[in-house]
Amino acid sequence: MDPRDLRDHVALVTGGNHGIGAAAARALATRRARVVISYLRLTDAVDPGIPDEYRRNRAGDAELVLTAIREQGGDAVAIEADLADRATPARLFDFAESAFGPVDILINNASAWLADTFVPATPDRLGRNSARVSTDTFIVSSQSMHVVRRR
């Protein structure tokens, strides 16, 4: 069997409505994984440091990604979910399992576009401060470990 063939796998891609998350979802589907895309539509204020296209993409749902995957014969579903809510990761894994089965690939891509850091915060070139890395950064990954242990 071709190791690149992911037909027996279920992938959860957070932040999959645009950018790197969307590219990861499409790549996994191309390799025949069943893909669950989570996203959160965010409306950003105009900021000269954030391109307008990026702001528009963050405000959108996952329909364009789903359509692209399905047009290539892939299987994908999407769910809007706010990862700031600590109950959300469990809900995502439950949703994925009910749609396709247990998740065995996690692409933990979502962010609120807050640059984070392990070092003391200093302003970036646009004057924005980075947020300190917190346990919330890792909540989806830790939930995936609970799901794996249940099996």
What is the reported pLDDT for 29? 98
pLDDT tens-digit profile of 30-60? 999 999 999 999 887 888 777 888 888 888 9
Q: Residue 10: is its pLDDT beyond 90?
A: yes
Going from the N-terminus, what domains does the chain have, and what CATH number goes with each?
10-111 (3.40.50.720)
Q: Which of the two residues, 75 and 131, has the higher pLDDT score?
A: 75
Structure tokens, 52: 């307008």
Q: What does R_g of the chain's alpha carbons equal in angstroms?
A: 16
pLDDT tens-digit profile of 100-142? 999 999 998 887 555 555 555 666 655 655 555 555 555 566 6
What is the reported pLDDT for 96? 96
What is the reported pLDDT for 77? 98
Do 77 and 36 form a contact (C-beta atoms < 8 A)?
A: yes
Question: What percent of the chain lies above the pLDDT cut of 70?
Answer: 72
